[in-house]
Amino acid sequence: MSLQNGAPPALSQAAKEMSNILLRLQNPDNATRNAAESQYNHATSQPGLCLEALSSLASTPGVEPVVRSTAAVLMRRSCSELWERAEPDIKTAVKSRLLVGIRSHAPRDVRRKLCDTISVLAGPLIDKTPSQWPELFPTLFQLTRSCNSFERESALYIFAQLAEFLDESIFTPHLPALKVALQAGLADSELSVSVAALRATTALISVLDESVCNEFVDLIPLMLQPVQRAVTSGSEDDAKTSIEMLIEVVESEPCFYKKDLPQVCSIMLEVCKNTNSNSEGGPRQVSLEFLVSIAEKLPTQCRKMGTFVKNVFPVALQMMLEIEDDSDWYELDDEDDNSEYTHFDCGQESLDRLAIALGGKAVLPVAESIISAFLQNSNWVYRHAALLALSQIGEGCQKQIEQKLGTVIQLALAKFLDPHPRVRWAAINCIGQMCTDFGPRIQEDYHADIVRALITVMDDKDNPRVQSHSAAAVINFCDEATSEIIAPYLDQLLGKLQALLNSSHLNTQEQAVTAIAAVADSAETHFVKYYDWFMPRLKQVLSTTTGHRELRRLRGKVMECISLVGLSVGVEKFGPDADEVMKLLVETVAAHVDDPDDPQSFYLMQAYARICRCLKSAFIPYLPHVMPRLLQAANQKPDITILGILEDEDPQDEEGYETLTIGDKRVGIRTSALEDKAVACSMLTCFIAELRAGFYDYVEQVTELMVPLLKFFYHEDCRSAAANCIPDLIRAVRESGKDPSGAQVISIIQYALPELLEATRNEPDVDVLVHMLDSLAQIGSMVGPPAIPQEMMPEIAKTISIVLLESEARNLERKRIAKQEEWDEEANEEAAAEEAKEEELLSRVATAANAFLRVHGSNGFVQAFTASQELSEGPEAVSTMQIFWLRLQGMRPPYERQAALCVFDDLILYGGREGQSVISGVLPAMCAYAGDPDADVRQAACYGIGVCARMGGDIFQSAANPALPQNLERLIRDPNSRSEAEANATDNAVAALLKILEFQPHFVGDKGFSYGALIVNYLPARADESEAQVMHSTLIRLVQAGDTRFIGDNFSYLPQVLSVILSILGTSLIDDEATRMAVEVIKGMRSKYPEVLHRATGLLSEEQRQKLVAVVNSA
């Protein structure tokens, strides 16, 4: 059906009045526009009439385009609230009118907005059962076959938009017809239609299940045609849009391209190389973005292609040659060089991402030959590109470059003498980046060459930007340089930086100040020698530059420098200046204009934290001056901007803002404000940890501020800081002595703990989860009942269970992707970093479980730990103990088995009867894992065997492997048993055997004497200090009791026992009670067995003899 020729339908009176309102909404006069907006808002009180008027204006040809466009936008934004209140016959008429409207001739942007309105209206209507717009899909399919290209385009565009609103199940019955429509659309002779078909295809692929997506794989050659046709015809916007849509599939379903990856990459490479299309941000850049994204999503497949890096790396590097020697570059500062995103920028960023995605084995061989040739080129842009390329690939090629690090450093240092200043700048940048990527080895092995070269280029007075960049590289170097490394260069290095402070260029001054701060931080107490020269001048800068807007960043960096210098030299040196410095900082706050973009705020908060760390309790008097501003910064709300009623186009990018699309809205968040908030939260956490009781006056206020931030999803650092501070807030109250009844601690727990548990269950970031679990463990360890009531125990166990199950889900998903994408060796190496995070998380979970089993076992936690609970993350009720039991299985990685063993060790030790009831099930696993290849697993297993021997009674006899003592003996006698890697496990094996002898003597039969001798000859234990104390105390107690297994026939073991005791006396390997018993044992030997003592004395070291004399002569 197509619109009949002739006059357009007459508008109703309501539509005419609405047209008038919409025209006046465009009026530049505020009063006129406000009046029109009020009239529109009033019109919405009659939803049916309003919908009729808006749909008529949006759909009727002949209406002014601005009115049609505005009507479509307003209807789209208001339809959800108006639709439900409109009459059924009006709804039917509106739907019909809209479908007629997209068939009428109209400017493309008007049709696009009308299509958007149909999509938004249709989403909830079609999603209902039965569909409340059953004629929509048949109409759209009919339109895809229309002879009018704009009708075909509109229908395909609506299909694309519907994919954002509808579930996959809505599309499933229509997939065959959709595929036919898409196939025809992609091959359409009109480019606009094929682009719309590509939009629909990529949108559907992004929402369909992977197995369903595979049915569309044969469309890939057709999906590439819009790109090729747009490039050939010179339609850069269409080419760019088409490639961006293909990138969306890379992000959502990268495996979709696996079969046709060489063909897809080949076409994208052609676009990259097409210099006829050379606009910034155009097809060349987005095609390279496609290639880099595919490398990030399918690294294994890209490496297996063999030619991927050989083709893509040179293209990215070639883009870095597209740079002019613009005089503006010499006038700009590094931090102010914020020009548009150029081909050079695109190429540079792509090299970094390619190297990280594909790794050094694939990238470095290709990069080496090209970079070497570029470095020899007479044209400066080639040398410049080569050095910056070397900077970019360092992180991704770290392992491979480390093997030839010295050679690479010399290549870069040689260009410090290049005739072109921008090449010298690039060489300095390369060295600075390498100091970051290859620290601390580069500082340890190549400090002389690097520091001397940097000192030399600081004399390049004709090129201030080169000078300042050399100071910036000093900062990178100092990040990983120890005080011993930097100390020999302090005179010369600080002399040069002192000279740069007098530069007429502000950026050079700023970088010099920051470099001095970095040197001081690295030099530590070696900086005391230079303190009296720098500190007065730094204070002078602060006192004389107040109110100078252009110097705010310099002032901030001076604050940073003063605080780092103070922290480095210590309170004795910095203390006399601290009061004056704090007054200057407080004055800065007082004069501080409420400008959210003032950089001083960030530096101030950091400076306060460092000075607090330096002064400790002496900082407390400054809190009344510091805290108000800090609390204000930590309490600021997110600066969120939502587009106004008529703002339908994408907002302009603004520095400091990040734009997110949420449903049908675009939301702008000022990220700079978020960073200030995160820094303030971290500073509060620092103050609480450092000042403890001295922070008491602010505990209540900070608790109320920080606890809600556990769920502050805008910034992970805020959530981490909130979690970190809760245990220290409790410590502050306890150590203050102002809460004798414990009521305030209970109040904090009642407020914070439920929030912490809920936040932990819902936290998506593994790094933040680690902080939350650590906080939970600390709380459980230091706060006992009744502060944490028994009713909370099921929630705590449930939280632990959910964290474990979600970690398991992430691990399984990683394995699924690895199998699906056929990960190679490098991909598996990269995934190891993610697994390391899970390992750290599981360690914190085990620590939290230990805390609650140990402190709250009898307060209901053991029952909660062993009881099944229904979890939303699992199909059936399951207990926390069962989840840990699964991690005890042999196919699990060592870190999982070790964590599970530790938890079961604690359950048996602290769990009473419930804990002891698991011995029969767990002890066989412990016996098996006592011989595990992994030392950490062995240690946990051996510790658990000792616990079972102590707690198990008769159960131990029946559950333990009869060969267990011999197996433990084998571990102890192993030649490598005392090596650093094995010593902890061996100490625990000895402890386990000792506990078996003490608590299960019948288990070893007649071998008690030989095992006793084995233990005596192994001791003293030194690796596992806590277990060593227990062993040494046990040995002394058994010897004192006359246990012949440890004394030996005819007291033959006593000389060795004496040697052990004298070795540990006065050390951390023996506690006070054991020390008292040891003295009694030695004195008893003197009185009862003098000949044994005399014989043993000859075998002692001089230090042991001195200890023996001291003991014998003691009162």
3-state SS, one letter per residue, for 574-614:
HHHHHHHHHHHHHHHHHHCCCCCCCCHHHHHHHHHHHHHHH
Whether residue 307 lies inside any domain: the answer is no
pLDDT of residue 330 exceeding 90, the answer is no
Output the pLDDT for position 1113: 84
Which pLDDT tens digit goes with each residue over 424-459? 999 999 999 999 999 999 999 999 999 999 999 999
CA 177, chain centre distance (Å): 44
Domain boundary among 132, 164, 188: 132
Q: Are residues 169 and 232 in the same domain?
A: yes
Output the pLDDT for position 7: 47
Which pLDDT tens digit goes with each residue over 1013-1042? 999 999 999 999 999 999 999 999 999 999
pLDDT of residue 660 exceeding 60, the answer is no
Q: Are residues 125 and 220 in the same domain?
A: no
User: Mean pLDDT of all residues in the chain?
Assistant: 91
Q: What is the rounded average pLDDT of the residues 368-373?
A: 94
- What Rg do the C-alpha atoms of the chain give, in angstroms? 36
Whether residue 341 lies inside any domain: the answer is no
Whether residue 1048 lies inside any domain: the answer is yes
Q: Are residues 141 and 152 in the same domain?
A: yes
Read off the pLDDT band of 642 (50, 70, 90).
low
pLDDT of residue 1084 exceeding 90, the answer is no
Give pTM, 2 decimals: 0.82
Read off the pLDDT band of 4 (50, 70, 90).
very low
Output the pLDDT for position 621: 94
Q: What is the rounded average pLDDT of the residues 538-557?
A: 88
Tally of structural domains, the chain: 3
List the structure tokens of 493: 């290095």
Least confident of 583-592, 612-621, 624-633, 642-651: 642-651
Read off the pLDDT band of 137 (50, 70, 90).
very high
Query: How far is residue 686's CA from residue 712's CA, in Å, rounded to a whole number?
Result: 19
Does the bond joining 419 to the residue before it have cis omega, within 30 degrees of 0?
Answer: no
Q: Are residues 172 and 126 in the same domain?
A: no
Which pLDDT tens digit goes with each residue over 156-206? 999 999 988 888 888 889 999 999 999 999 999 999 999 999 999 999 998
- How many other C-beta atoms lie within 10 A of the C-beta of residue 1059? 19
pLDDT of residue 295 exceeding 80, the answer is yes
Output the pLDDT for position 242: 96
Q: Are the beta carbons of 117 and 79 closer than 8 angstroms?
A: yes
3-state SS string for 519-578:
HHHHHHHHHHHHHHHHHHHHHHHHHHCCCCHHHHHHHHHHHHHHHHHHHHHCHHHHHHHH
Read off the pLDDT band of 652 (50, 70, 90).
very low
Least confident of 39-53, 185-199, 536-550, 562-576: 536-550
CATH code, domain carrying 263: 1.25.10.10
DSSP sequence for 393-415: HTTTTHHHHHTTHHHHHHHHHHG
Q: What is the rounded average pLDDT of the residues 355-368?
A: 94
Output the pLDDT for position 549: 83
Whether residue 1088 lies inside any domain: the answer is yes
pLDDT of residue 128 exceeding 80, the answer is yes
Output the pLDDT for position 649: 47
Output the pLDDT for position 646: 38
Q: Are the beta carbons of 716 and 677 closer than 8 angstroms?
A: no
Output the pLDDT for position 274: 87
To the nearest whole percent, how much of the chain has pLDDT over 70?
95
Q: Are residues 149 and 121 in the same domain?
A: no
pLDDT of residue 1104 exceeding 60, the answer is yes
CATH code, domain carrying 1029: 1.20.1050
pLDDT of residue 653 exceeding 70, the answer is no
Output the pLDDT for position 828: 77
Q: Are residues 115 and 172 in the same domain?
A: no
Boundaries of domain holding 72? 12-132
Whether residue 981 lies inside any domain: the answer is no
To the nearest whole percent, how much of the chain has pLDDT over 90?
76
Output the pLDDT for position 1096: 82
Amino acid sitting at position 90: I
Which pLDDT tens digit goes with each residue over 988-1004? 999 999 999 999 999 99
Output the pLDDT for position 684: 95
By C-alpha distance, which of 1055, 1062, 1061 is closest to 1106? 1062
Domain boundary among 268, 290, 312: 268
Which pLDDT tens digit goes with each residue over 966-983? 999 999 999 999 999 999
Output the pLDDT for position 676: 85
Q: Are residues 189 and 264 in the same domain?
A: yes
pLDDT of residue 498 exceeding 80, the answer is yes
Which pLDDT tens digit goes with each residue over 889-908? 989 999 999 999 999 999 99
Output the pLDDT for position 2: 38
Q: Are residues 143 and 156 in the same domain?
A: yes
Read off the pLDDT band of 60 (50, 70, 90).
very high
Whether residue 693 lies inside any domain: the answer is no
Domain boundary among 268, 289, 319: 268
Output the pLDDT for position 821: 75
Least confident of 214-223, 483-492, 874-883: 874-883
More confident residue, 882 or 670: 882
pLDDT of residue 355 exceeding 80, the answer is yes
3-state SS string for 69-111:
HHHHHHHHHHHHHHHCCCCHHHHHHHHHHHHHHCCCCCCHHHH
Output the pLDDT for position 226: 96
Q: Are residues 88 and 164 in the same domain?
A: no
Tokens 């994204």 label which residue?
293
Q: Are residues 128 and 144 in the same domain?
A: no
Which pLDDT tens digit goes with each residue over 61-75? 889 999 999 999 999
Whether residue 864 lies inside any domain: the answer is no
Q: Are residues 83 and 168 in the same domain?
A: no
Output the pLDDT for position 647: 46
Whether residue 1096 lies inside any domain: the answer is yes
Kind and range of the H or E run holding 304: helix 299-305
Q: Are residues 104 and 121 in the same domain?
A: yes
Read off the pLDDT band of 127 (50, 70, 90).
confident
